[in-house]
Amino acid sequence: MKGFIFCASARLKTVTVLFFISLIWLALFIQPAPAGSLKAPEFSLPDLKGEQTSLSGLAGKEKLLLLFWTTWCPHCQTALRDLKAKKINYRLVTINIGEPRERIERFFKSNGYNFTTLLDLEGEAAASYGVFGIPTFVIVEKDSTITYRDNVAPSDLE
C-alpha cells in the first residue's frame, strides 16, 4: 500500500509538471495575431432563445464589442457589472463559454442583465478568437477587422 501511495504521488507530480510546461509552451509559442491585423473569425452560435446568430449577421452594421465570459469568473462578473453601468459606443454581444442556458438565465435574472448573449457550448468560437483567459474583450469593426483584444475593457467605454 505504501508503494502505491508513493507511485500515485509521483504520477501526480509528473502530470502537474507536464501541465505547467504545456501552459508555458502555449504562452511562448502560440500567440494570437495582434489586433488590427486579422479578420474576425466567423461563428454561428445560439442565443438564449435558441436562435442562431452569426458574426456576418452582426458585423457590417456597427462596431461590435464581444465579451467572452463565464458565470463563475469573478473578473467576468465585475466586467458585466461595469458594462451594465456604462454607456457603450459599440453593440455589445456577450459570449458565454461552455455553460448551460439555464445557468446563464438564472445568473442574468439575479443580476438584472439583459445583454445579447450567445452560447459557445464547445468553446470553438473562443478558441478561434485566441481566448486564453477570461474575460476577453474583442472589438470588431464594421469591416470585420479586429482592432482590440485584451482581458481588460477598452479605455473608451464611458
Angle between helices 74-85 and 101-111 (to 10 degrees): 50
Q: What is the DSSP string of 117-149?
A: EEEETTSHHHHHTT--SSSEEEEE-TTSBEEEE
Q: CA 105, CA 102: separation in Å to the nearest integer?
A: 5
* Nearest to 102, CA basis, from 130, 71, 74: 71
Domain ranges across the chain = 1-30, 34-150
Alpha helices in the chain (DSSP H): 2-29, 55-58, 74-85, 101-111, 124-128
Highest CATH level, class, for 34-150 = alpha beta
Whether this model's pTM surpasses 0.85: no
Note the pLDDT tens digit of each residue in 22-55: 545 445 444 444 555 689 999 999 999 999 999 9
Note the pLDDT tens digit of each residue in 93-148: 999 999 999 999 999 999 999 999 999 999 999 999 999 999 999 999 999 999 99
